Amino acid sequence: MSRARQGGWVLASRVVPQAGGALLLILGARFLTPAALGQFVLIFAGVEFLRRLVRAGWREAVIVGEADTPPVVMTLSIASALAAQVATFGAAALMWQAGLEPRYPLCLLMLGATLVPLAPTVVWEGVLLRRRQPDREAKPLIVAEIAHLLLAFLLLALGLGILGLALARIARALVLCLGLGVAAGWPVAVGWDRGRAAAAFPVSGNVTASAMINFATTYGVDLIVGFYLGPASVAFFRVGSRIAGALSEAMNETVRVLAWSSLPAAGDAERARLADRVERFFDQAVVLVAPVFVGLALVAGPLVALLLGPDWRASAQVVTLMAIARLFQSPATVAWPALAIIGRTGLLPRLTAVIAGSALVAILVTGPHGILAIAWSQVAAALFGGLATIAVLNRAIFAPGRLRARVDTLAGLALMALCVIGARALIGEAAPAVALVTEIIAGAAGYGLFLWWRRRDMVLRVTAEARRA
């Protein structure tokens, strides 16, 4: 298979789970009350914490280890999964003793049943990636995600509620395990070697630490919101942030792939050429990505009303704010490849840790004041992170202050916003579908006019490059 087709499968395997996760929450919101969906999100967050510990970097340990490493890692992975399974039994017993409805501890036990199939899954992922077969690793993930989504819809329609979501998650785990096992040729051997285990632990520790930072800023937020505000607020916040997050992942993965393929493979000797290319790519990325996020923020009201119904109006405000936050975070997608080219990737993990820590502190401070206060805190943290990332790029590659969004791009976004607001005032209290289509057309027309007036050459150049690609 060509590298282009392999890259397409890998990109699809990153985008499909994001889109599937957003669609799953939308389905849950259509069939469940906010309180019930919020309870499921909280239970899922607890199991996801255990999932991160079960994964524990074992995939990466297989990728970088010796040829006889997989059996040792398989032993460690299975041990991790069994320990996590015991933890779910204990947590379910506590929930039962606390007098919660029986469906909640049962949901926890069902989600916990996905942890044991995860043990061989992560090892087989590593085996396939070690063999440089990322497409064979990607295809089962896509199939599992589609099966997960279809079964969840069926079970929700049959009235199984959160237990239907848990059953669909079990099906996903089994389909993925089966698919990766077939793709890898079923290497299920277990073994033990102290030297191989000792070599795997540092890799596992580094990857797990990174995963825990990511957990703290994603699912950890759900737990904090639940602690302060209760399950219904968790559902409102999670649905809103997930819609924005799914769009962000799709856009950022695309920009990341284009960045790696567009920026020159040059070191310090070619710093001037790299600077020119990074500056041009950053400008193009802002012009093409910013209207998507700003557009989502502008049409969040009719979008949420159409997808979820009037009971989920609070999520629309979260979508608006989190879309702006995701826009502010987007410079990192350009920073990673640019800094990698000059050998300065060590700058970004430290920066990411600081930004994640500040975002978490902001949530803890604003949590008692409601989900909008939390969302605004994430906008502020994302703005700080985006400016800090641009500052790092300026110090590493450019003269200070050279890399920034152009004023005319900001004017184009303002024109788009005015068109959307004008269309909203013109149609008045229209049906959500009519309002959504009208506002999208108005915003696209306004921004399209700006592109043709001010950035026509860039649009024609990008279109020609896309055709050649």
456, 445, 469, 450: which is closest to 407 by C-alpha? 450
Between 380 and 342, the more confident residue is 380
Is 219 exposed, middle or buried (CB count within 10 Å of its CB: 0-12, 13-18, 19+)?
A: buried
Between 77 and 398, the more confident residue is 77
Please provide the average confidence, as pLDDT, over all residues in the chain.
Answer: 83
Q: How far is residue 13's CA from residue 268's CA, in Å, rounded to a whole number?
A: 34
Token digits of residue 441: 């057309």
Q: How far is residue 28's CA from residue 45's CA, in Å, rounded to a whole number?
A: 16
State the pLDDT at residue 400: 56
Would you place residue 133 in the very low, low, confident or very high pLDDT band (cuts 50, 70, 90)?
confident
What share of the chain has pLDDT > 70, as a percent?
87
State the pLDDT at residue 135: 77
Q: How far is residue 445's CA from residue 328's CA, in Å, rounded to a whole number?
A: 24
Query: Average of pLDDT values for 65-85?
Result: 86
Residues 234/313, Cβ–Cβ less than 8 Å? no
Would you place residue 127 in the very low, low, confident or very high pLDDT band (cuts 50, 70, 90)?
confident
Between 405 and 167, the more confident residue is 167
Sequence letter at residue 143: V
Q: How far is residue 412's CA from residue 49's CA, in Å, rounded to a whole number?
A: 42
pLDDT in tens, 409-455: 888 899 999 999 999 998 888 888 999 999 999 999 999 898 888 87
pLDDT in tens, 292-335: 999 999 999 999 999 888 888 889 999 999 999 989 888 877 77
The conformation of residue 310, written as its DSSP 8-state character, comes to G
**Backbone φ/ψ region at 161: left (φ over 0), alpha (ψ -120 to 50), beta:** left
Residue 446 CB neighbour total at 10 angstroms:
21
Residues 266/274, Cβ–Cβ less than 8 Å? yes
pLDDT in tens, 373-403: 999 999 998 898 888 888 887 777 766 556 6
Q: How far is residue 463's CA from residue 79's CA, in Å, rounded to a whole number?
A: 51
pLDDT in tens, 235-291: 999 888 888 888 887 777 777 766 665 666 544 446 666 677 777 777 778 888 889
The pTM for the full model equals 0.80
Would you place residue 358 in the very low, low, confident or very high pLDDT band (cuts 50, 70, 90)?
confident
Residue 163 CA, distance from chain mean position: 24
